[in-house]
Structure 1
């Protein structure tokens, strides 16, 4: 009989995007049960991965009553299923999942940390989130930060202990599908995509993919791009992603420019980002914080150099001037300078693009991550 593993995320889109393919792979060796909030995304994920699922209504915001109900449901589930491993991802699922697993004394309580988003907070709010982080990790038997820089931060800040904090493989929670993310996998040509977007073929095209919110560095990106556009009207910026107005909204002027600037093409959320990466010359991700950003790996696998901020995850994927540029976070001028360097020096962009895919394939192909995690699971007794 296979041992049971319960994998938990707060919302199902995290399962679909961050762990795609992984649960189906693990289900060959263990009986895998996925747990997340319900909805169409969750139902689609269960069909896609061919695993069992349990719906529990997690709330991403602090909600004492809802959180207590979810905790009780998790305790009941663990007592019923008697899992060998509970493995959690994301903040709320991690906190409640690890507490419940500790209460039930699940033998192996594993938590993946894909970002510490409170590092730029201060005061009581930061202290609260630090307490929640330490509570989650103290209930876990193993903690897996998905980057080496994040591991250093966690140990230094005493969020976890060195003895049970480990990075799987080279980092990343899931790696990427290098066959899906390659130029040849897109049926339509770069020229045709640009024509469909109203972009001339002699344009220098930058691309942002992610949630459109302040902590993704969108204000700085739009300011930097607008300045560059005033000097070089050939440049274009494709923005792929939805606005998150209720979480960390961008400035009003930034939002206005995204919708109305002549050089910006806003396409909203897209299930398939490959056409937009293919139509671009450089990916720009000026985030304030990340875990291990998938989009940087995805862009690199499609031969795109990237401009990223000097934060954990990003600065482990990008090697300065080899497959991209690294700039300080919250620094619109430095971002502008690197974007201008790309627009004025296409030979540099071409050289970095030639390095991009191999640096991703050799380190972050998803089977490397899956096999390393399977080895970790099999080492538990």
Structure 2
């Protein structure tokens, strides 16, 4: 909602179109109108549902008559782009990550590329969360060079995710994975690395926070999660609406993902002055300097992840603290949500002015 607050301060009237189950729906904000979106089915590949989404967005846009539409995530970016284009309404697409379709070759990937290319003709700007995704879309000819730009993710509330002091219950090193339980996020490598690192450093604890995403083909299978917890190499905390206490109890946050937009969990960990281990992949490496505020490992490599975890364990305590504070400073200077919101608002203001 930070971008919304910035836009309100700049004199915009804002309409938020979102599913009713969204956390944002029906929040009380003066100057903000909420419209329910009922036909968004992010898990379906059925063209009939996608056509219904185009019709619904077309109907809403025609009724609301916005001066400009900002769309997030794959289906609104694509099908909202078509709907806005049919009505002659300028639109901006915010690509928060390329997701499953771009990680797995096949028909879905090819269709997604074609749809992005077609809908991209209607967008005034396409905003990415990292330079790698922007470069890929330009290289593949999906977007025109002048339409693309990148910002540093969606930012993080540095006041909400502030460093907290929690009296240590024990001195064990705690590595924590936070996120949807997807194989594409490297959770299998994390579980395997946890098993290996505990052979050499038996006092090390490895935690997982999050839940599976059954609609995603890459979702972790129940029997895998059960095996990891039964082996007692993993402590599974389940999903948490507020992760701050567990982050505070963690020594290092680990996200061995195969590709991201710019993972919010990394930014939240950095904001709380926690070192981060992630992969040298698009999106992940955008926020982590190897040896500075964390360590980078190779994607899909348990051995590389074990090596990064051991490098962290062997650091002197003062260096671990310094690493965490380096990440916190990066948030305040580069990734703080007010900074990102103002950058996005500048683009919206510019495109709105050109349209009028």
What TM-score do the two structures reach when normalised by structure 1? Answer: 0.86
Q: Distance in 1 between matches of 2:108 and 2:58?
A: 28
Q: How does 1:169-184 map to 2 (within 5 A)?
A: 171-172=152-153, 174-184=154-164
Structure 1 residue 56 and structure 2 residue 37: aligned?
yes
1:66-98 superposed Cα distances (whole Å, 9 cap, x missing partner):
222221121122112211111100011111111
Structure 1 residue 164 and structure 2 residue 133: aligned?
no
Q: Distance in 2 between matches of 1:21 and 1:190?
A: 32
Give 1:30 deviation, angstroms.
Answer: 0.9
Q: Distance in 2 between matches of 1:80 and 1:304?
A: 46
Give 1:161 deviation, angstroms.
Answer: 1.3
Q: Distance in 1 between matches of 2:167 and 2:228?
A: 23
Q: Which residue of 1 aligns with 2:350?
A: 379
Number of equivalences? 346
Q: Distance in 1 between matches of 2:253 and 2:31?
A: 33
Query: Among residues 307, 332, 349, which one is paired with 2:277 in the alignment?
Result: 307
In the superposition, relative to structure 1, how do residues 65 and 30 fare at CA in structure 2: closer, same or farther (>3 Å)? same
What TM-score do the two structures reach when normalised by structure 2? Answer: 0.91
Give 1:252 deviation, angstroms.
Answer: 5.8
Q: Which residue of 2 aligns with 1:260?
A: 230
Q: Distance in 1 between matches of 2:215 and 2:347?
A: 38
1:328-359 superposed Cα distances (whole Å, 9 cap, x missing partner):
11111100111112123344433322312111
1:116-150 superposed Cα distances (whole Å, 9 cap, x missing partner):
12333223232112112212322211111111222
Q: Is the 8 A contact 1:89 1:114 kept in 2?
A: yes
Q: Is the 8 A contact 2:186 2:255 kept in 1?
A: yes
SS at match of 2:16: strand
Give 1:253 deviation, angstroms.
Answer: 5.7
Aligned alpha-carbon RMSD (Å): 1.9
Give 1:49 deviation, angstroms.
Answer: 8.1
In the superposition, relative to structure 1, how do residues 139 and 113 fare at CA in structure 2: closer, same or farther (>3 Å)? same
In the superposition, relative to structure 1, how do residues 40 and 324 fare at CA in structure 2: closer, same or farther (>3 Å)? closer
Q: Which residue of 1 aligns with 2:209?
A: 240
Q: Distance in 1 between matches of 2:91 and 2:178?
A: 33
Q: Which residue of 2 aligns with 1:353?
A: 324
